[in-house]
Structure 1
Amino acid sequence: MRLRFPPYFLHFVVVFLLTIISTNSSAQVDKLGQITGGAAYEIPSWFTDSFLDIAEDVEDAMDENKSVLLYFHLDNCPYCSSMLDQNFKSGDNLAFIQKHFSVIAVNLKGDREITLNENEALLEKELSKILKVQYTPTIIFIGEDGKQAFRTNGYRTPKAFRLVLEYVASQSYKNTTLSDYVESNQKSSKGYTFIDYSGLEKASYLQDYKQPVAILFEDKDCIDCKNFHEKLINRDDVKAELKQYLFIRFDAYSDQKIINFDGKVTSPRKMVKDFDLNYRPGVLLFNEGKNITKIDGQLYSFHFNTVLRYVSGKHYEDFPRFGDYLKVRQQEMLEQGIDINIVD
Structure 2
Amino acid sequence: MPRILRPITLLCTLLALAPGYALSADDEFAFDDKPLQEYIINPEWFKLSFLELHDDVRDAITDGKRGLIIYFGQKDCAYCQAHMKNNWGRKDIELYTRKHFDVIAIDVRGDRPVTDFDGVIYSEKKFAAQHKTNFTPSFLFLDKDGKTALKLSGYHPPYQFQAALEFVADGHYRKESFRDYLALAEAAFAHGNEGLNEHVAFSHPPYALDRSRFAASAPLAVVFEQPKCHACDVLHAGPLLQPEISEKLKKLEIVQLDMWSDTPVLTPDGKHTTAKEWAGKLDVYYAPTIIFFDERGKEIIRVDSVVRLFRLNNVLEYILSGGYRTYPTLQRWRREFKKGDAPRG
TM-score (norm 2): 0.78
User: What percentage of aligned pairs have identical amino acids?
Assistant: 27
- The answer (yes or no) to whether the contact 1:253–1:269 under 8 Å persists in 2 is yes
CA-CA distance at 1:195 after TM superposition = 2.4
Equivalence for 2:203: 201
Alignment of 1:1-344 (within 5 A): 37-63=36-62, 64-90=64-90, 92-117=92-117, 119-188=119-188, 191-192=191-192, 193=194, 194-203=196-205, 204-208=207-211, 210=216, 211-220=218-227, 222-288=229-295, 289-327=297-335, 328-329=337-338
Deviation larger for 68-77 or 179-188:
179-188
Residues 58-94 of structure 1 show CA distances to partners (whole Å, capped at 9, x for unaligned) of: 2322232332111011121121122122222435422
Residue pair 2:219, 2:292 contacting (<8 A) in 1 also: yes
Say if 1:189 and 1:285 are closer, same or farther in 2 by CA, change over 3 A.
Answer: closer
Once the two structures are overlaid, the 10-residue window that deviates more, 110-119 or 74-83, is 110-119
How far 1:160 moved relative to its partner?
2.8
Select the structure of larger CA radius of gyration. 1
> CA shift at 1:330, angstroms?
6.7
Cα distance in 1, alignment partners of residues 331 and 187 from structure 2: 39
Q: Residue 162 of structure 1: SS of its match in structure 2? A: helix
> Structure 1: where are the runs of 5+ without partners?
1-34, 334-339
Rate the CA distance shift 1:324–1:109 in 2: closer, same or farther, 3 A: closer
Aligned length: 302
In 2, distance between residues paired with 1:188 and 1:221? 11
**Cα distance in 1, alignment partners of residues 38 and 88 from structure 2:** 16
Shift of 1:270: 3.6
* Alpha-carbon separation, structure 1, partners of 2:35 and 2:298: 34
Give deviations 1:11-35, integer Å, cap 9, x for gaps.
Answer: xxxxxxxxxxxxxxxxxxxxxxxx8
Question: Could you list the per-position Cα deviations for residues 118-137 of structure 1 after superposition, in whole angstroms to 9, with x for gaps in the alignment?
Answer: 63333322211211112111
Partners of 1:39 and 1:77 within 8 A in 2? no
| Distance in 2 of aligned mates of 1:222 and 1:159 | 14
| Structure 1 residues 304 and 189: CA distance shift in structure 2, 3 A | closer
Q: Provide Cα deviations, 1:119-157, integer angstroms capped at 9, x if missing partner.
A: 333332221121111211111000222021111111222
Distance of aligned partners of 1:272 and 1:169 in 2 relative to their CA distance in 1, 3 Å threshold: farther
| Cα distance change on mapping 1:315 and 1:116 into 2, 3 Å | closer
Query: Over aligned residue pairs, what C-alpha RMSD do you find?
Result: 2.6
TM, length-normalised to structure 1? 0.78
Query: For 2:228 and 2:140, how far apart are their aligned partners in 1?
Result: 23
Answer whether contact 1:70 1:103 (CA < 8 A) is retained: yes
Query: Structure 1 counterpart of 2:45, which letter?
Result: W
Q: Which residue of 1 aligns with 2:13?
A: none
Q: 1:264 to 1:140 in 2, by over 3 A?
A: same
* Secondary structure of 1:247 counterpart: strand
C-alpha distance in 1 between matches for 2:341 and 2:109 = 23
The 3 A distance-change label for structure 1 pair 191 and 76 is closer
Cα distance in 1 between the residues matched to 2:228 and 2:163: 11
In structure 2, do the counterparts of structure 1 residues 308 and 49 end up closer, same or farther at CA, with 3 Å as the change threshold?
A: same
Relative distance call for 1:272 and 1:168 in structure 2 (3 A) is farther
CA distance in 2, matches of 1:246, 1:175: 36
- What is the CA–CA distance in structure 2 between the aligned matches of 1:130 and 1:96, rounded to whole Å? 29
Rounded to whole Å, the distance in 2 between the matches of 1:272 and 1:286 is 14
Q: Secondary structure at the match of 1:164?
A: helix
The SS at the match of 1:188 is helix
